[in-house]
Structure 1
Amino acid sequence: MHIETGLPTRLASAKMHSSASAHHLLHKSPVNPLVTFSRIPVSPANYTLQSTDIEILTRVGIMADNLTRFENLLQRAAKHKQAAEWELAENALTDAEQLCKAHRFPNQAQNQVRVLLERAEVLRRHGKFKEAIKSQEEVIKSKNVEEWRKAKVYGELGVNYRHTDRIEEAANAFQKHYMLAAKLAFEMDAEVCRSTSNLGIARYQLYLKDTSKTDLLQDSIRLQKERISRADNLLNDLQQTFAQRCGIDKSLAAIGVNDTWVSNWSNKLNMWKSIGVSRIVFSYLADGKLDLATKHGKDAVEMTSAPDATWADPTVRALSRFSYGYALMRNDQAAEAKIQFAYPAGVLGKCTPAIALCKESSDENRVYLQEVIRSGADLAAYDEVGYSALDYAVFADDLKTTTILKNALASQIGVDKQVEELKMAEIRKHFREIFHAQFRPILQDGRDDCIKTLRAKYSELLKASDSGKRKRFDVFRLVSYRDFEDQGALPRWGMEDKLAEQFDKIVKATGRDPFVIFMSYRWIGRESDPPIKGPDSADNYQYRRMLNALDQIRDYHPKVKAEDMYIWLDCACIDQDDIESGRRERGINALPIVVAQCDAMISIVDKEYPQRAWCAVETMIVQTLKESSSYHHWYEHKLHDADAREEWGALSKGPAQLERFTKPSTMRLTVESDRRYIEFLERQSMLLGRTGAKS
């Protein structure tokens, strides 16, 4: 059996007997790439097109035919314009405009603008100024017009205003034409400025491959000089042409030039200049000009470390330190070079030269990295977002750099600690993949079922064929509020009647999505008289406070039913005694991910709570998470009488911002060996927050 369709143009005569003919048709016809063909299966050899398939192909054919006719009409209008046949040109453009209004016309908004621009010019040429002005004003109001087109429109509009004696409006349009053209020229000149240094460093790298080609080296020096000079000229132009007019010339605001635009370009140009100054160091060193190299290295450091250098990217700062240190070392000033390589000495949370080199690893940068290592720089340091040099190498799957760093760390901190650092780097890699690649897009979507989707995604990731995450992170476990209420004490992992259940099993059994509360509290067993091993006192004080808090949380969430409330608490949901080797660590590793999957956190606050490392890191996580999400809630349970032994207190929302000048990793711990976990979680919290894009 075959089916003949009434498809236009090439599709009209197509006879389709199987998927092969459909496949041929789809790939040979002039169709819009935005059309989805998923409804037409192409794998079964004996497939026969259905009526719905024919409808789709018909629609595709019509769209393709309309687009071809549209382009032909624009070409016809252009020929009529060349021959000064304005009426015929207008007719062709009117027909094109009608075609463009068709349902699902490809790139409809942009193509409508094209027609309006062409039509306005034709109307002006045969004296229809008012109609031309109407078309041009319509284009100006459109949000789908590229700036270069808009610049042309302002020029044409000014001419039409002038011909109709609207001189003030003409002057205003010409001013916008002038300033927008100047803005576009400035931005293109800035791109030339950017390209010079990039081309220069490429020339330098080509020279390194064949040092007999000294012309490449000289060209690299010339190009870096050009970058520096162009950046200076553009900064001056930015000030003279734009910055001084902001707030005075109203036409600037209309074309998007304001204080923010000026500030952004000032930041970019200063950074590009400093990069050029830093890069020329290497070319000068290769050319044997050690004094010039050292001078420019020092200049780069001074530029990026100046008090007003708020534009300086952390990576650029660190690389400027490296270039200066490298020049000093080549100039036999090893002690001074070491100071630059060690930047910032003794300070955590700042990008170091070693970290910067590992962010953009290459054979060249590995050579430089080994120079930094030989100087004795601290390789365990981490940057503003909690990553070390090893973290960046592991995250990039860069085995060469990872091997270099492993060997160096073994010498610096010992083999055992090096193994631990590598393991933590792999965990952070998985964490980043989970939170940044999977969780963050869900959080930013603004969906009402955000937390439900996060839970489903985490479960999916742990079930995936990649077992790496299963080895590093534990499953999501919860205790039902009803079971917790009936227990009479804090449940423990090792109890015979273990209450914690896997999230997936809870959902499968109940058919509902639970409202999950994360309990943040101090373990006070050792403060009992006599001391006991465990999270609570003999009189179950923390348990009683939790019950009081849970009673009140329903006032904030009245639609939540008691049977849908579940609790996450460490004593029940983490294998604290590590009965299965490695499970405690997996539970701790997952802590930030657990918090992200909870609807609320309740902090059981007392006098000691703010000073305890575990409590501090949990509140840090929820605070940082709240920066990225409006779906998570944080409450504090504070006693009515802090000196009494009663559990009664008030539940209130946690502070919008938490001021803490002490890092959780430096706070008090009951078990000192937990400090490495606190350090890990502290760094993960840094990754949860907003981070600026690298320039």
Structure 2
Amino acid sequence: MTEHPQTFDHFVALADRYFETAAWEEASRALDAADAATRIISKEQLIALDTRRGHIERRKGNYQQAVRLLVQALAANTEGQNLTHVDITCELGNIYMKIDFIKARDLLLEALQGAEQLSKQADLHDDLDLSISAKVQACRAVGKLGMTKYHIATTAPVRRHPLLEEAIDDLERRVQLAESLQHQLERYGDRGNHAFRANVMRILGLGRLALCYTALHQHEQALQYVRAAAESASRSTDPLVQGLIRFYHGMRSLRSRFDRHDEVGYTALDYAVLADDPKCTAIVTRSLRDEMDSRFPDEEAEADRQVAIKLAEAHRRKQYRDIFQLAFRPILAKTSSSFDSDARLYDLRVQYTIELKTDLRKRELFDKFRSIPYSAFKSLGRLPKPSNVDDMAGLREHLRAEVHRTEEQLPAWPYIVFFSYEWRRRRVGRLNEPDDNDHTQYNRMVDAVELLLENQDKTTRTRKLTRDRVFIWLDVASIDQNNQVPGAQGSGVSALPLVVTLCNTVISLVDDSYFSRAWCAVEALLMQSLVSYGHHAHLEHHAPQLGTDKQQARGTLIPSRRLKQLQDVATNDTKYAVTKLEDRASIRFLARQAQLLEKL
């Protein structure tokens, strides 16, 4: 955990540092933490959050959400033509470059004129800080204006030549402004990390000039600009800048791997789906199909099936992100008293129900959150076998009974336990049987709940936990274990972070090999990350020592503290085993996402 003060300004500064390396998910998490750090948010803070969130959503391709946030920030800014107004107007123009070129041009002209006016005011009052900030905005606006003209020119051949020359003039002015800004910062010192932005704007200006000269078929001039851009980009820390300049330099001719994951578990297809961009999705899908054709040269049907699985996974991940990051994380991050965990878990479950009820796509991808009373679980006498018709019918009957219970019959604050454990019969090839003939895992679960009740002051974050309040979430009830087709269990698998979030406690049935099994390790990692919010608990149940009387044997229940130990789940394939190799991609995705769960 960080030792920095947990203040609004600290988290906003952290988000700005993430911006520099294009770490948008981490920046979004930092902004959520900034929001949660302030009980009563001021107008200035609201503008700061909405503006930055708008920038993030634009970079993810969520243009409607970005426009909504920025228009909201613009409306809150009642100070007239200040730097904030110029910045937001320029960003709106940047977004409309993807939607409406004419509106983009008008917005960017407004931003440029506003920046120039502020620059004159700064010179008049000898205000160096305002002068530098206004020059940054002017540099940004004129470069975007040049690219807007480039897009209009290349989609309207009648006006192509003169508009391209105007675009070149604007982009050359951007490079000049950026260089002037760099000299000014060298003389007076960097203020507000403007040196980084000035360097980025100069590099992108050079690269985009190469595009304009290429469109005019002046290839020698284009090559000179792209070489200058590539030389400067080689020293940049911004991965987006490096990637764009490589693209301009012709690196696009090299074959790319479209199934690789980034540091937070997303692939190129994930980003295309996140942005809801059909054209981009089609391009990536075709590239994936080419890769699958090379892997399965004589199996066209298998290549088709693999691409379909990847596309379905990308859509599930988009919905998972929407629920957790946009709906759950703000609820988790709210400041609360130490005894507010029951209400916070209740809010999460209500929000999950709303998400499924109001969104058909989510309803298709994720099941309802189901649990059974502890008393019903005990009456089963053992863990149900998915292959046993009678077992599954009895389990469904318990689930159905819960659905029909009235509000008065339900406890006010259900305390739901998620068990993370090994399916013991898989050791001998019985993949559909979760327990052995001695019902070892079932008996340990019962023992764990009894210990939980006996030692609730040390093991729970709730008030007066009674037996009738305890409910159990069972994987055999929510994930289709019988369907062994790759990807068929994806709905339940992708929902695991959501399920864990909705449960009060995860109890890991630890044995000698528990943390070497990938699924057990990733479930533990997810809850370890959630514990940081103060509403959940992660406990380990250790079986009684060998040689003790089975009838009298009691295990031990202790808090789990293994966050650092589990950080390599996404990268260490040899340390963490899977039963089915196709599960590895889901494990990596969930493990990489866990870093976004932990509270800052």
Give the counterpart letter for 1:571 in structure 2.
V
Identity of aligned residues (%): 30
CA contact (8 A) 2:418 2:472 kept: yes
Superposition TM-score, scaled by structure 2 size:
0.65
Partner Cα distance (1:199, 1:402) in 2: 28
1:210 Cα deviation (Å)?
2.8
1:381 Cα deviation (Å)?
2.8
1:578 Cα deviation (Å)?
4.5
1:391 Cα deviation (Å)?
2.8
Give the counterpart letter for 1:422 in structure 2.
L
1:565 partnered with 2:434: no
Query: Could you say which residue in structure 1 is the equivalent of 2:371?
Result: 478
**Aligned counterpart in structure 2 of residue 315 of structure 1, from 234, 240, 244:** 240
Partner Cα distance (2:584, 2:365) in 1: 18
Partner Cα distance (1:680, 1:538) in 2: 34
1:445 Cα deviation (Å)?
3.3
1:564 Cα deviation (Å)?
0.8
- Superposed counterparts of 1:506-655, under 5 Å: 508=407, 509-527=409-427, 533-553=432-452, 554=456, 555-557=458-460, 559-578=464-483, 584-626=489-531, 629-638=533-542, 648-655=555-562
1:187 partnered with 2:76: no
Aligned length: 454
Query: Could you say which residue in structure 2 is the equivalent of 1:435?
Result: 324
1:205 partnered with 2:151: yes
1:217 Cα deviation (Å)?
2.3
Superposition TM-score, scaled by structure 1 size:
0.57
- The 1:221/1:532 distance shift into structure 2, 3 A limit, reads closer
Q: Deviations over 1:174-223 (max 9, x none)?
A: xxx99993212221111111112111211222332237643432332332
Partner Cα distance (1:686, 1:507) in 2: 39
Q: Which moved further from structure 2: 375-384 or 561-570?
A: 375-384
Give the counterpart letter for 2:181 in structure 1.
L
Partner Cα distance (2:509, 2:126) in 1: 59
1:453 partnered with 2:343: no
Q: Which moved further from structure 2: 433-442 or 188-197?
A: 433-442
**Aligned counterpart in structure 2 of residue 388 of structure 1, from 261, 267, 286:** 267
**Aligned counterpart in structure 1 of residue 179 of structure 2, from 189, 214, 232:** 232
Partner Cα distance (2:469, 2:126) in 1: 59
Give the counterpart letter for 2:495 in structure 1.
A
CA contact (8 A) 2:365 2:491 kept: yes
CA contact (8 A) 1:394 1:429 kept: yes
1:624 Cα deviation (Å)?
4.3
Partner Cα distance (1:290, 1:240) in 2: 36
Helix, strand or coil: the match of 2:559?
Answer: strand
- Superposed counterparts of 1:165-180, under 5 Å: none
CA contact (8 A) 2:411 2:468 kept: no
1:285 partnered with 2:229: no
Helix, strand or coil: the match of 1:602?
Answer: strand
- Superposed counterparts of 1:27-426, under 5 Å: 181-208=127-154, 209-210=156-157, 213-243=160-190, 262=191, 264-306=193-235, 309-310=236-237, 312=238, 314-325=239-250, 340-341=251-252, 375-413=254-292, 414-426=303-315
Helix, strand or coil: the match of 2:127?
Answer: helix
Q: Which has the higher contact order (CA 8 A, sep 6+)?
A: 2
Q: Deviations over 1:457-486 (max 9, x none)?
A: 21223233x432222111111132233344
Give the counterpart letter for 1:402 in structure 2.
T
Helix, strand or coil: the match of 1:655?
Answer: coil
Helix, strand or coil: the match of 2:417?
Answer: strand
1:612 Cα deviation (Å)?
1.1
* Greater gyration radius: 1
Give the counterpart letter for 1:634 in structure 2.
H
- The 1:383/1:268 distance shift into structure 2, 3 A limit, reads same
Root-mean-square deviation over aligned CA pairs: 4.0
Partner Cα distance (1:216, 1:643) in 2: 86
Query: Could you say which residue in structure 1 is the equivalent of 2:15?
Result: none
Partner Cα distance (1:637, 1:664) in 2: 27
1:295 Cα deviation (Å)?
4.6
1:597 Cα deviation (Å)?
0.8
CA contact (8 A) 1:148 1:184 kept: no
1:643 Cα deviation (Å)?
11
CA contact (8 A) 2:569 2:591 kept: no
CA contact (8 A) 2:210 2:222 kept: yes
Segments of structure 2 that go 5 or more residues without pairing to the other structure are 1-41, 45-76, 83-122, 293-302
Partner Cα distance (2:326, 2:140) in 1: 30
